[in-house]
């Protein structure tokens, strides 16, 4: 942690600043979780040590709850799992992920004390809990969690007061970091990373966070000068400033004062309409309401697995939006993202490729050039165009996505490695295409006939993994 130091950030409280200069893709620090658990819904499918999804996992022979890749992961987990294992057997069932995480934190506190642990700039005791800002519903959930915890906590373990237990649950609520699977595509768990908890928010940050090989990495998105504050974004940038501020206030209990929120930067692009001819305010208002109503219908159809109905609704909505909204309008981009995902799943790649290109054109004007979500979206669009046989467009997008992910994820991340292999393959195909287009298409057709197209993941109504995990 010699690359950073704690300081008091004006208007924010504690923060971290760089002690030396960094450039895009530099890892400022890496940190292992103080404590972490797998989500309740995935306990049988994800390793409880490294958080990788595996088809076959070993199960703890005593509690029958914890699952591991192999004996190595099981052995590495034993220090944390030993008290949990006996508590699970005594309690007779597994409590919620928040209760399990609180228990793991308190077992570690009992084992090591409440002071600073090795490599930590702040103790768990000193992390923000914001319990005093909880609304009535949050207080009710807190009381329920504490009651369950007290039933789960073994009487032979060190006992803690109600105030301290509530503090730990508050810390989880405010500082619980979302852990993703090995490819970064699905949220699989939640953990506490004390040093990361010191990094303040900015809607246009100079850093990003990625979970890679059992550790989080704080990575620079561009040049950072010595003494400059390090920031990450707690929420997705693709919302107007007022909505982002409301979300941050509700979930993290602070008023965002970043430049983009204060000046409403890019809000005009988020709500942009066509210039020639320019629609009337009444038509714009009507189209926004139509888009909101249709997105609700789309969410319902997705949740029921009615994917052809989703495509139909998206087509109708885009047709209504086309003469009114500009390419950067959020309502249009949300529909484009959904129809791209669903059509790719249905293997209607030719139609999907058109939507993919339009979506990327809008995203490129809105996101930071090294935004991780932009990189993932461009990668998805590139693969869609490749499946559609648009080798030149597909290769160009895959190269662009690879350049972004080298910064946001790094060369050792599994998804970057996958993308590098795809980049090499499409480069080879592009050379073949330019030498003999007819022969390229004949060979491609033969290859696809002999080898089934890889089925895309089933569309999900779940959002992309967020930076911090909030209890729903």
Which phi and psi (to 5°) does residue 23 adopt? -125, 165
Phi-psi region at 347: left, alpha or beta (left = phi > 0; alpha = psi -120 to 50): left
**The two structure tokens encoding residue 338:** 């959904």
According to DSSP, residue 133 is labeled: G
Distance CA 1, CA 448 (A): 50
Q: Give phi and psi for 296, each to the nearest 5.
A: -65, -45
Instruction: Write down the number of H helices and E strands in the chain.
Output: 15, 12
Nearest-angstrom CA–CA distance, 272 and 220 = 31
> Is the CB of residue 98 less than 8 Å from the CB of residue 40?
no
Structure confidence at residue 455 (pLDDT): 44
- Round to whole Å and give the CA distance between 92 and 198: 37
pLDDT of residue 439: 83
pLDDT recorded at residue 276 = 85
Encoded tokens for 434: 């330019």
pLDDT at 6: 94
Q: Where in the chain are all domains bearing CATH 1.25.40.10?
A: 270-449
pLDDT value at position 453?
Answer: 44
Question: Can you list the alpha helix ranges (DSSP code H) found in 23-135?
Answer: 71-91, 97-112
Give the predicted TM-score (pTM) of the model: 0.90
- Composition of the chain by helix, strand, coil, percent to 5: 50, 15, 35
**DSSP-derived pairing of the beta strands 176-180 and 187-192:** antiparallel
What is the model's pLDDT at position 458?
59
CA distance 192 to 124: 9
pLDDT in tens, 90-118: 999 999 999 999 999 999 999 998 777 77
Question: In sequence order, what are the residues at sequence separation of 6 or more whose Cβ sits closer than 8 angstroms to the Cβ of residue 5?
Answer: 16, 17, 19
- Mark out the alpha helices in 214-270 (DSSP H runs): 241-252, 259-263, 267-270
Fold of 270-449: 1.25.40
pLDDT recorded at residue 11: 83
Rg (alpha carbons) of the chain, rounded to whole number: 24
Encode the chain (472 residues) as per-residue pLDDT tens digits. Answer: 889 999 998 888 899 999 999 999 999 999 999 999 999 999 999 999 999 988 899 999 999 999 999 999 999 999 999 999 999 999 999 999 999 999 999 999 999 987 777 788 999 999 999 999 999 999 999 999 999 999 999 999 999 999 999 999 999 998 999 998 877 778 899 999 999 999 999 999 999 999 988 899 999 999 999 999 999 999 999 999 999 999 999 989 999 999 999 999 999 999 999 998 899 999 999 999 999 999 999 999 999 999 999 999 999 999 999 999 999 999 999 999 999 999 999 999 999 999 999 999 999 999 999 999 999 999 999 999 999 989 999 999 999 999 999 999 999 999 999 999 999 999 999 998 999 888 887 877 777 676 544 445 556 655 555 666 655 4
């Amino acid at each position: 942690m010699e690359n950073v130091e704690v300081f008091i950030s004006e208007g924010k409280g504690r923060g971290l600043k760089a002690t030396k200069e960094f450039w895009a893709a530099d890892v400022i620090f890496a940190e292992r979780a103080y404590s972490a658990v797998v989500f309740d819904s995935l306990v049988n499918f994800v390793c409880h040590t490294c958080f990788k999804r595996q088809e076959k996992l070993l199960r703890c022979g005593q509690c029958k709850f914890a699952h591991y890749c192999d004996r190595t992961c099981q052995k590495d987990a034993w220090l944390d799992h030993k008290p949990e294992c006996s508590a699970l057997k005594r309690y007779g069932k597994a409590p919620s992920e928040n209760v399990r995480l609180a228990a793991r934190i308190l077992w570690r506190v009992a084992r090591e004390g409440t002071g600073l642990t090795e490599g930590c700039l702040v103790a768990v005791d000193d992390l923000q809990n914001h319990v005093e800002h909880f609304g009535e519903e949050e207080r009710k959930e807190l009381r329920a969690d504490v009651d369950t915890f007290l039933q789960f906590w073994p009487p032979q373990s060190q006992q803690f007061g109600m105030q301290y237990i509530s503090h730990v649950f508050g810390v989880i609520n405010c500082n619980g970091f979302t852990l993703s699977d090995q490819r970064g595509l699905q949220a699989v768990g939640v953990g506490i990373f004390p040093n990361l908890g010191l990094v303040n928010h900015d809607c246009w940050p100079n850093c990003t966070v990625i979970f890679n090989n059992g550790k989080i990495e704080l990575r620079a998105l561009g040049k950072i000068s010595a003494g400059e504050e390090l920031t990450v974004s707690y929420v997705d940038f693709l919302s107007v400033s007022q909505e982002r501020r409301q979300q941050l206030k509700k979930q993290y209990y602070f008023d965002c004062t970043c430049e983009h929120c204060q000046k409403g930067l890019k809000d005009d692009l988020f709500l942009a309409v066509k210039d020639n001819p320019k629609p009337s305010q009444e038509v714009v208002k009507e189209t926004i309401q139509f888009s909101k109503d249709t997105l609700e219908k789309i969410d319902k159809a997705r949740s029921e697995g009615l994917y052809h109905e989703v495509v139909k609704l998206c087509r109708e909505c885009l047709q209504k939006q086309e003469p009114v909204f500009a390419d950067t309008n959020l309502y249009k981009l949300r529909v484009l993202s959904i129809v791209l995902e669903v059509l790719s799943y249905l293997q209607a790649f030719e139609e999907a490729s058109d939507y993919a290109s339009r979506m990327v054109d809008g995203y490129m004007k809105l996101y930071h050039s090294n935004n991780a979500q932009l990189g993932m979206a461009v990668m998805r669009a590139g693969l869609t165009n490749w499946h559609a046989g648009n080798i030149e467009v597909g290769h160009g997008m895959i190269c662009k996505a690879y350049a972004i992910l080298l910064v946001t994820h790094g060369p050792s991340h599994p998804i970057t490695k996958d993308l590098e292999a795809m980049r090499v393959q499409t480069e080879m195909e592009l050379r073949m295409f330019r030498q003999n287009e007819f022969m390229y298409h004949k060979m491609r057709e033969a290859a696809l006939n002999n080898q089934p197209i890889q089925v895309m993941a089933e569309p999900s109504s779940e959002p992309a993994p967020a930076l911090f995990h909030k209890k729903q």
